[in-house]
Chains A and B, each alone.
Chain A
Amino acid sequence: MTGDALLSVRDLSVRFETPDGTVNAVNGIGLDVAPGECVGIVGESGSGKSQTFLALMGLIASNGTVTGSARFQGTELVGLPPRRLNQIRGAKMAMIFQDPMTSLTPHMRVCQQLSEVLVRHRGLSHDEARAKALAALDQVRIPDAKNRLDQYPHEFSGGMRQRVMIAIALLCEPALLIADEPTTALDVTVQAQILDLLGDLRRRMGMAIILITHDLGIVAGLCDRVNVMYAGAFCETAPVGPLFRAPQHPYTRGLLSSVPRPDQRGGALTAIAGQPPNLQMLPPGCPFAPRCAYRFDRCDTERPLLREAGAPAHLKSCHLGGFTESGAVLP
């Protein structure tokens, strides 16, 4: 499996030194992404999902340290010197971010922000780069792209700016696109357009996508496989179908039952009680135990490791036997 993986992450951890102590944002993540695959990373705010992938891109804050291993097309990313990393990011591995309103440089024309990537990685002349930049804006379906090329970011709406971000990310036809909550800041109708665009581009260009989100609905529509993240670690990982049909981790079950459903009107929404743990002082046992309805003695003393949960490629970190599709608890 590791041999043909595009990205292979092993035991990746990210820590931040703060005046209040060490924050363990990511704790020993393992992940394989095959070429062309779409992998969803789901978790609530502060679960470490963004920091994991910012670490791969070499973009974490200066007080952070990354340990473990992340091989991308055979190159070890952890500890890679900036010069080498700059040959990979933006070219073979690209990332788009949560907030399109502030993610483009305000004092540069859109054309410049697109073409500098091509000049840098492909060595194109400015005229060639401009032509390709125009084609890229067309590709992400920006109307009247020719005239918008010389505009500044503030002349674009949020959805259009995210399209520009996607166009920038795809310029060099990367093998992997990391999309960090690409639709969170956008209107619902625009969300659907952007997701539709990402799915379409993925099919046409055959690139792999890592989609970071807290929205399970987005994952269901776009991804092949899902990793559910809690307190800096994966608690369940499975193909989309089995995960939604028979979630095996109590946290995943809680997430799924807190999604509002039109066929169950009237009742109050179910929420997961309690707060995520303090990442400066993780409990010795299962980090979800304090909020878990199924908790028993072992949960407080022994941290559960990822293990197979009934089906192959379906893993969970939980001491419980599991759940049937109808929700009955297995011993």
Chain B
Amino acid sequence: MIGYVLRRLAGAIPTLFIIVAVAFFMMRAAPGGPFDGERKLPPEIERNIKAAYDLDKPLVTQFGLYLGRLLTGDFGPSFKNKDFSVGELIAAGAPVSLRLGLSAITIAALIGMALGIIAALNQNRATDFSVMSAAMIGITIPTFVTAPLLTLLLGVYAGWLPVATWNNGALANMILPVTVLALPQIAVISRLTRGSMIEVLRSNFVRTARAKGLSEFTVVTRHALPAALLPLVSYLGPATAALVTGSLVVEQIFQLPGIGRYFVLGALNRDYTLVMGVIILYASLIIALNLIADVLYAVLDPKVRLA
């Protein structure tokens, strides 16, 4: 198992290199640069700035310099957020996004699985239809609708919760953004769980478990659930990565200092180093979470051998 994990991590290095290379050259291929503004800078100043950031050198040389700095753990300075390095920006924002994302995915997994199981056990009955209709609504309504709506209802009208700001991650400030992030995930997870649970409940080994005279609770939790979770595990890996790297919409609406906004704002501003930093973080998380999903697979299904 440990050998397998180490080999997978070693295999991640070329993957990361390719991602970094593709992202680097694609960013540069996009028209415009970080210091292009409405007012054209005097040529000599522009030349000085470009020299300061190595932007006057050939592209391949820039890539080599960037890789060299990456190997020492330096993501470089941010082009737009002056006086901050990309490392500092990520170090400040990542904990916020991580906390929001992990809370949201944990809550979504628990509630989504529970709803999915309840729906599967009541297949084609009123409970099933209401849970699945609610899930369908949850999937189709985007966060930029739920976020202001919930803020208006619970924050402005009812006055129960603060409408925005991070406040060092106080529970009251977390509830609204976490709910908004979790809702669509609950919807997807409950539908996935219901589908695979219905299939597993029809399988022969569940019939055997019932024939043994086991309680319905044991049949569902011990015999059916682990088999039903397999398809969910492969969904949860990438979904977690997406959530913990932050959401532009949610962070913007609730004014949260996470890293989700860096992704979009960085790309729009041609803040090359910042975008590269966020991409590397996102790619590493995807790789790590897929690895965790594969290890979990082996735990849930003894037929899977990690070698």
User: Which residues of A pack against B, CB within 8 Å?
Assistant: 57-59, 61-62, 82, 85-91, 94-95, 97, 99, 102-108, 116-117, 120-121, 152, 154, 165, 168
Contacts and interface: CB of A to CB of B under 8 A. Distances in A.
A59 B302 CA distance: 27
B211 interface: yes
B214 A86 contact: yes
Contacts of A57: 210-211
Interface string B200-236: 0011110111111111101000110011000000000
A94 B216 CA distance: 17
A168 B208 CA distance: 10
Nearest to B213: A90
A107 B213 contact: no
B295 interface: no
Contact of B213 (A62, A91, A97, A99): A91
A103 B207 contact: yes
Contact of B302 (A95, A99, A107, A165): A107
Nearest to A178: B211
Interface string B267-307: 00000000000000000000000000000000011110000
Nearest to B210: A59
Interface residues of B, number: 24
B204 A102 contact: yes
A106 B302 contact: yes
B123 interface: yes
B208 A105 contact: yes
A105 B205 contact: yes
Interface of B: 123, 202-205, 207-216, 218, 222-223, 226-227, 300-303
A86 B215 contact: yes
B123 to A, nearest CB: 7
B205 A90 contact: no
Contacts of A154: 302-303
Nearest to A57: B211
A87 B209 CA distance: 13
A105 B223 contact: yes
Contacts of B226: 107
B210 A103 contact: no
A87 B214 CA distance: 9
Contact of B227 (A61, A89, A107): A107
Contact of B123 (A62, A95, A104): A62
A120 B219 CA distance: 12
Contacts of A82: 216
A90 B212 contact: yes
B213 A103 contact: no
Nearest to A155: B302
A108 B213 contact: no
A89 B205 contact: no
Nearest to B123: A62
Given A103-B207, A106-B303, A108-B223, 16 more contacts: A82-B216, A85-B213, A89-B213, A90-B211, A90-B213, A90-B214, A102-B203, A105-B208, A105-B222, A106-B301, A116-B212, A116-B222, A120-B212, A120-B213, A120-B214, A152-B302
Contacts of B303: 106, 152, 154
With a 10 A CB-CB cut-off, give which of B205, B218, B222 has the most chain A CB atoms.
B205
B213 A88 contact: yes
Nearest to B226: A107
Given A106-B227, A107-B302, A116-B218, A89 B212 contact: yes
A61 B222 CA distance: 21
B127 to A, nearest CB: 14
Contacts of B205: 102-106
A86 B213 contact: yes
Could you say which of A61, A90, A91 has the most chain B C-beta atoms within 10 Å of its C-beta?
A: A90
Nearest to B208: A103
Residue from the set A57, A59, A102, A103 with the largest chain B CB neighbour count within 10 Å: A103
A118 to B, nearest CB: 10
A61 B226 CA distance: 22
Contact of A168 (B204, B212, B216, B300): B212
The 7 closest A-B pairs by CB, nearest first: A90-B213, A90-B212, A102-B204, A86-B213, A152-B302, A105-B205, A89-B213
A97 B302 contact: no
B211 A59 contact: yes
19 contacts: A57-B210, A59-B207, A86-B215, A89-B210, A90-B213, A90-B214, A102-B204, A103-B208, A104-B205, A105-B205, A106-B205, A106-B227, A106-B301, A108-B223, A120-B213, A120-B215, A121-B213, A152-B303, A168-B208
